[in-house]
Amino acid sequence: MSATKPPGYDARPAEPEGANRRGAHRPRTKPAGAILPVVAGVAVVLLAIAGVVTVIGNRGSEATSSAGKQGFSEDTDTAATPGASGGTQAPGDDETATETEKAADQSIEVVVWNSLDIEGLATDFKNDLEAEGWTIDSVDNSPERNLATTQIYYGDADLEATAEGVRTALDDLGEVTENADVNPGKITVVLGQDTQD
């Protein structure tokens, strides 16, 4: 006996609604899911730009650095040197004084001796040197008497630049001489007749 089907009955199995949709009929994605790929893409682009800027910036600073080095040479007769105000100055006496002051070590003790019969002369020069930042060990009368030219003695080659710095502080008075026998490890200034000029 065959069963009769009600009118409008479809023999195909029932499928859930939307299961057979394709193309434009796909269900919509959630807004948060759609934004995530965009944010990731923007982040990648920004990182790439930052990397390029860093590389270009490093190349630029290297070029500036090497260009700056090319402007200066070891030959002090032809190279311009930076001045105190940030500009440049021609080489000369000021440059030599500046180099000497940089190399001079003001923590090295200085002994000031007076070779003349002028009372207080060594103390006056001691005070001048202290005002310039020098470290004074002592003042006394010199065993050498009545020197024509002030002598600035240093004991070893390491102290030569400091002795030149003391001479510069004394307005280029006297002459610098190596003498290991006079107060080793210190600079000794023996004031002479040229202090009265």
Write down the number of H helices and E strands in the chain: 4, 7
Mean per-residue pLDDT of the chain: 75
List, for residues 37-58, the tens digit of each pLDDT value.
777 888 888 888 887 778 777 6
Comparing CA positions, the residue from 150, 156, 161 lying closest to residue 128 is: 150
Are 139 and 118 contacting, i.e. CB atoms less than 8 angstroms apart?
A: no
The phi and psi torsions of 17 (rounded to 5 degrees) equal: -65, 130
pLDDT band at 166 (very low <50, low <70, confident <90, very high): very high
Closest by alpha carbon to 26, among 18, 14, 36, 17?
18
How far, CA to CA in Å, does 53 sit from each of 26, 39, 44, 72, 126?
43, 21, 14, 29, 58
Confidence of residue 194 (pLDDT cuts 50, 70, 90): very high
Distance, in Å, from the CA atom of 131 to the CA atom of 189, rounded to the nearest integer, reads 16
Pairing mode, if any, of strands 151-154 and 187-191? antiparallel
Stretch 107-135: mean pLDDT: 95
Give the predicted TM-score (pTM) of the model.
0.50
What domains does the chain contain, in order, with CATH numbers?
A: 105-196 (3.30.70.2390)
